[in-house]
Amino acid sequence: MSNDDKKNEAELTGTTQRRRPKPGVREVGGRRLKPATLMMGHGYDPMLSEGSLKPPIFLTSTFVFENAAAGKRHFEGVTGKRPGGAEGLVYSRFNGPDQEILEERLAIWEDAEAALTFSSGMSAIATVMLAMVEPGDVIVHSAPLYAATEGLIGKILGRFGVQWLDFPAGATREEIDAVIAQAKAKGRVAMIYLESPANPTNALVDVEAVSAARDAAFGGADKKPPVVIDNTFLGPLWQKPLRHGADLVLYSLTKYAGGHSDLVAGGAVGAKALIDQVRAMRNTIGTITDPHTAWMLLRSLETLELRMSRAGENAAKVCAYLRDHPKVERIAYLGFLKEGTRQADIYQRHCTGAGSTFSLYLKGGEAEAFAFLDALKIAKLAVSLGGTETLASHPAGMTHLSVPDERKKALDIGDNLVRISIGVEDADDLIADFEQALEAV
């Protein structure tokens, strides 16, 4: 639409179009700008905010309409009476300027059509599931999943008659085919939900194989179940699952994207049609990020590539040191996958970096693990990951304490396992810390 057309339409409908930010520069001299460049300004027009270089934090619960017809037109969009969805800002349970800028920038990392942000990673996951599942449906998922996600599927959605079937994270195409066939016999398959790498084993899921298995099983159906993946551990820098056949990528933005261990938030990126389905649920239940957290995430995204790159380099150095230490049994780190194995093949096809979160198995048991953790001087003893600081925790005694012993064994969660997330400190300082902590074991 040209500006004149817009003006005519505004006159005809009696509305004034919302002032939109000037379209951002996406290309210079035929060169498509990289996400790291676009994070500084994309989606924000300083001239709409008194020239302020950075977006203000818009602390408001509601937005003023220019006139009554504009208000009606807006609600026609929200309620679906007029196609195209909502155009402007209306009420902060639906959207806000900080969240919209954040969502535009988040989508850029994976070349996605659209994105949404949420009050937490779990509220992103819950909102997606509520938007897509019905009683009697089956959720097919990779295993293990983040504990709260398993609880949401098994315990909470289970109360509403939703069923589930799983396959192990490293499953082959044949194994995935078999589980999908079993699921189809049980009911309508609502979605195929993945988490890769799995926590705490770091086992990777073959997203390409899952997507191909889904297409083979549902090729003729009007609506194929979407492949949804929690990409918290490697995304958005080291793994971009939309390129490998996933339809919707979910995040705990609390981790690498937020990156400073000072906020809790979630995200979803994917095709606009799927995102709009989730948006309708988010509008209803109000699981959107708040403006302040959205602003913090805008700041975080400016340094995302710097932080993740440094953390990844640090982890490679620390793991190289730990691998050969006499008190270390082994390390589950994606950088050490054995050539020629199926996991290495998945890694080469899907990932561009090994991340900075890994599992360290000490020789011994709980006593050795606790002695190591208690001796650390730089690394902090805390759950979570992806922050600027290095964290270490004991899954068997902490995050996975309530997991039955049999299951712990199957998942390789021993008493000698220490989970480590490497930050952006000086790598040699970190190595010195691990060295003295291992001496104390």
Q: Rounded distance, CA 279 to CA 294, Å? A: 17
Task: Please report how close the Cβ of residue 265 comes to ligand PLP at its closest, in angstroms.
Answer: 6
E strand or H helix at 299, and its extent?
A: helix 291-302
Task: Please report how close the Cβ of residue 241 comes to ligand PLP at its closest, in angstroms.
Answer: 13
Please select the residue that binds ligand PLP; options are 214, 255, 310, 400, rule is CB under 6 A.
Answer: 255
Using rule CB under 6 A, residue 421 touches ligand PLP: no
Q: Rounded distance, CA 301 to CA 115, Å? A: 14
If the CB atoms of residues 124 and 298 are measured against ligand PLP, the closer one turns out to be 124
Comparing C-alpha atoms, which of 66, 54, 65 is closest to residue 101? 54
Using rule CB under 6 A, residue 193 touches ligand PLP: no
If the CB atoms of residues 151 and 364 are measured against ligand PLP, the closer one turns out to be 151
Q: Which stretch binds ligand PLP (CB under 6 A): 158-166, 226-234, 287-295, 333-341?
A: 226-234
Residues 120/279, Cβ–Cβ less than 8 Å: no
Which residues in the 130-189 window bind ligand PLP by CB under 6 A?
146
Long-range contacts of 185-188 (CB under 8 A, 24+ apart): 186/138, 187/136, 187/137, 187/138, 187/163, 188/134, 188/136, 188/137, 188/138
**Which residues on adjacent β-strands are paired with residue 359?**
332, 419
Please select the residue that binds ligand PLP; options are 70, 106, 122, 257, rule is CB under 6 A.
Answer: 122
Q: Give residue number: closest CB to ligand PLP.
A: 121
Q: Which stretch binds ligand PLP (CB under 6 A): 51-59, 99-107, 247-255, 402-410?
A: 247-255
Which residues in the 17-36 window bind ligand PLP by CB under 6 A?
none
Distances 98 to 43, 55, 292, 294 between C-alpha atoms, Å? 10, 7, 8, 6
Please select the residue that binds ligand PLP; options are 127, 232, 300, 356, rule is CB under 6 A.
Answer: 232
Q: Rounded distance, CA 90 to CA 103, Å? A: 17
Residue with tokens 């009697």: 136
Task: Please report how close the Cβ of residue 41 comes to ligand PLP at its closest, in angstroms.
Answer: 27
Give the other-Cβ count within 10 Å of 327's Cβ. 14
Q: Which stretch binds ligand PLP (CB under 6 A): 38-46, 229-237, 319-327, 417-425?
A: 229-237
If the CB atoms of residues 244 and 255 are measured against ligand PLP, the closer one turns out to be 255
Q: Rounded distance, CA 418 to CA 62, Å? A: 47
Using rule CB under 6 A, residue 355 touches ligand PLP: no
Task: Please report how close the Cβ of residue 195 comes to ligand PLP at its closest, in angstroms.
Answer: 6
If the CB atoms of residues 131 and 437 are measured against ligand PLP, the closer one turns out to be 131
Using rule CB under 6 A, residue 357 touches ligand PLP: no
Q: Which x/- pattern over 82-121 shows residues binding ligand PLP (rule: CB under 6 A)?
A: --------------------------------------xx
* Residue 165 φ/ψ, nearest 5 degrees: -140, 145
Burial class of residue 5 in the structure, from the number of CB atoms within 10 Å of its CB (0-12 exposed, 13-18 middle, 19+ buried): exposed
Please select the residue that binds ligand PLP; options are 252, 314, 393, 421, rule is CB under 6 A.
Answer: 252
| DSSP line for 303-324 | THHHHHHHHHHHHHHHHHHHHT
Please select the residue that binds ligand PLP; options are 15, 92, 117, 254, rule is CB under 6 A.
Answer: 254
> Assign residue 331 a region: left if phi > 0, alpha if psi is -120 to 50, beta otherwise?
beta
Q: Which stretch binds ligand PLP (CB under 6 A): 43-51, 252-260, 289-297, 409-417?
A: 252-260
Using rule CB under 6 A, residue 256 touches ligand PLP: no
SS3 190: strand
If the CB atoms of residues 15 and 261 are measured against ligand PLP, the closer one turns out to be 261
Task: Please report how close the Cβ of residue 264 comes to ligand PLP at its closest, in angstroms.
Answer: 5
Is the torsion defined by CA of 55, 56, 57, 63 positive or negative? Answer: negative
If the CB atoms of residues 106 and 264 are measured against ligand PLP, the closer one turns out to be 264
Full 3-state SS string of 198-237: CCCCCCCCCHHHHHHHHHHHHCCCCCCCCEEEECCCCCCC
* Residue 433 φ/ψ, nearest 5 degrees: -65, -45
If the CB atoms of residues 103 and 230 are measured against ligand PLP, the closer one turns out to be 230
If the CB atoms of residues 97 and 121 are measured against ligand PLP, the closer one turns out to be 121
Cβ-based neighbours of 93, under 8 Å, separated by 6 or more: 283, 286, 288
Using rule CB under 6 A, residue 268 touches ligand PLP: no
Using rule CB under 6 A, residue 287 touches ligand PLP: no
* Footprint on this chain of ligand PLP (rule: CB under 6 A): 120-122, 146, 195, 199, 230, 232-233, 252, 254-255, 264, 266
